[in-house]
């Protein structure tokens, strides 16, 4: 097992992304927050997961967007703490670069449609009137 501080992982992903993915197919990688995070803030764990890193440590005492991303990912398995990596991050015959913008073979695109039902504390539109009520456009 190898341990990498978050900045080292980011450098490896940015400079040698495909090679780092191949490394993570053969070795365990543990990523941990930088020691300078005295405020217990967190980095985005998605970048480490995209490179196939297996153990991505976060500061759990901090309720933040990176923690929400982490919690959302592990909700898919009932929060058991383990999710099997996609085949593209396990199969030695498949080459993958986490920074590539091209389509991933064997993965279908998904279209997502979002309908906003309500909102709060929205600014009034230009020329709008003051007072209570709905903002309709």
Q: How confident is the model at residue 65 (pLDDT cuts 50, 70, 90)?
A: very high
Between 127 and 113, the higher pLDDT residue: 113
pLDDT digits (tens, 9 = 90+) for 21-36: 999 999 999 999 999 9
Which pLDDT tens digit goes with each residue over 4-16?
999 999 999 999 9
Distance CA 96, CA 5 (A): 22
- Cβ neighbours around 50 below 10 Å, total: 17
pLDDT of residue 122: 76
Q: What is the pTM of this model?
A: 0.76
Average pLDDT in the chain: 89
Interacting residues of 74 by C-beta distance below 8 A, sequence separation 6+:
80, 81, 83
DSSP secondary structure string, 44-67? -THHHHHTT-SEE---TTS-SHHH
Calpha distance 124→132 (Å, rounded)? 11
What is the mean predicted confidence (pLDDT) over 104-128?
82
| 117 pLDDT more than 60 | yes
Tell which residue, 31, 82, 79, has the closest CA to residue 55: 31
What DSSP assignment string belongs to 90-109? T-TT----TT--SPPTT---
């Amino acid at each position: 097992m190898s341990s990498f501080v978050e900045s080292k992982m980011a450098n490896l992903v940015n400079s040698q992304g495909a090679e780092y993915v191949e490394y993570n197919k053969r070795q365990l990688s543990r990523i941990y927050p930088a020691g300078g995070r005295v405020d217990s803030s967190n980095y985005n764990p998605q970048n480490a997961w995209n490179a196939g890193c297996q153990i991505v440590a976060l500061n759990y005492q901090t309720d933040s967007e990176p923690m929400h991303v982490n919690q959302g990912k592990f909700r898919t398995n009932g929060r058991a703490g383990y999710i099997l990596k996609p085949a593209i991050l396990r199969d030695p015959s498949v080459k993958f670069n986490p920074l590539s913008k091209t389509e991933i073979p064997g993965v279908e695109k998904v279209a997502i449609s979002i309908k906003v039902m309500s909102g709060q504390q929205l600014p009034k539109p230009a020329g709008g009137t003051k007072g209570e009520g709905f903002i309709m456009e």
